Amino acid sequence: MSLYGRMPGDEWQRYANLRLLFGYMYGMPGKKLLFMGGEFAQWPEWNHDISLDWHVLKERFHAGTQHWVRDLNHLYQREPALYEQDCSPGGLEWVDFSDRANTTLFFLRKASRQDDLILAGFNFTSVPKHDYRVGVPRGGSWEEVLNSDAEAYGGSSLGNYGGVEAAPGEWHHRPYSLTITLPPMAAVFFLSRGS
């Protein structure tokens, strides 16, 4: 059975879950693995006797999944915070992994020499979280560089209009916080450039 075939829910939820899985995989340390059609949500399991179902890319959700994987690859290539410290404890910093009530997860990814930070956030429910507060280590602008719920990926277009400003005030043991929208079954990535 394909990755898509293992996802729960109705059609929209299955594609959203698959995009969420890919976002989580790209956010976490370690090398990434995609297999034969997973990158565009092929329905049947790969079969070595036939071609991949490339024709399904004419359909919105398949094309959206492929665009999501493409944009994850581009972000991964251009942002050292996502790959440079894969084998170092300093490359990942948990922000919040204990919000069971909302079923959300946040962590920071860091490069070794650069001052850029990536905040990765995940909503594992079908309920959007509006005005959700998350702690961050610095003030200033945090650009929403990727959002798996964007319309281009087959999502419902909930998001943060390109970014948010950090407000002073301790949250999650950090001196600043962001108030964001977490779309349903979605991965969001925010970038903060150091001065």
For residue 38, which of 11, 65, 74, 60 has the smallest C-alpha distance?
A: 65
Q: With CA atoms as reference, report the closest residue to 39 among 71, 75, 1.
A: 71
pLDDT at residue 122 in the model:
98
| Interval 93-99 mean pLDDT | 94
pLDDT value at position 95?
Answer: 97
Check residues 35 and 129 and name the one with the higher pLDDT.
Answer: 129
Under the banding of pLDDT at 50, 70 and 90, the label for residue 136 is very high
Confidence of residue 75 (pLDDT cuts 50, 70, 90): very high
Give the pair of three-digit tokens for residue 172.
């999650």
- Mean pLDDT on 50-74: 80
Helix (H, G, I), strand (E, B) or coil at 11: helix
Residues 93 and 107: beta-carbon distance below 8 Å: yes
Q: Tell me the C-alpha distance between 161 and 79, whole Å.
A: 21
Give residue limits of the domains in the chain.
4-78, 88-192
Q: What is the pLDDT of residues 152-178, one digit of tens each?
A: 999 999 999 999 999 999 999 999 999
pLDDT at 155: 95
Torsion, Cα of 22, 92, 192, 81 (10° steps):
-70
State how far the Cα of 186 lies from the Cα of 91, in Å rounded to an integer. Answer: 23
pTM of the model: 0.91
Q: Torsions phi, psi of 115, nearest 5?
A: -95, 10
Burial class (CB in 10 A: 0-12, 13-18, 19+), 96: middle
Name the fold adopted by 88-192.
Immunoglobulin-like (2.60.40)
pLDDT tens, residue by residue, 22-57: 999 999 998 888 776 677 666 656 666 666 566 666
Distance CA 112, CA 43 (A): 39
User: What region, left, alpha or beta, does residue 16 occupy, with left being phi > 0 and alpha being psi -120 to 50 degrees?
Assistant: alpha
Say what angle helices 60-78 and 11-27 make with each other, to 10 degrees: 10
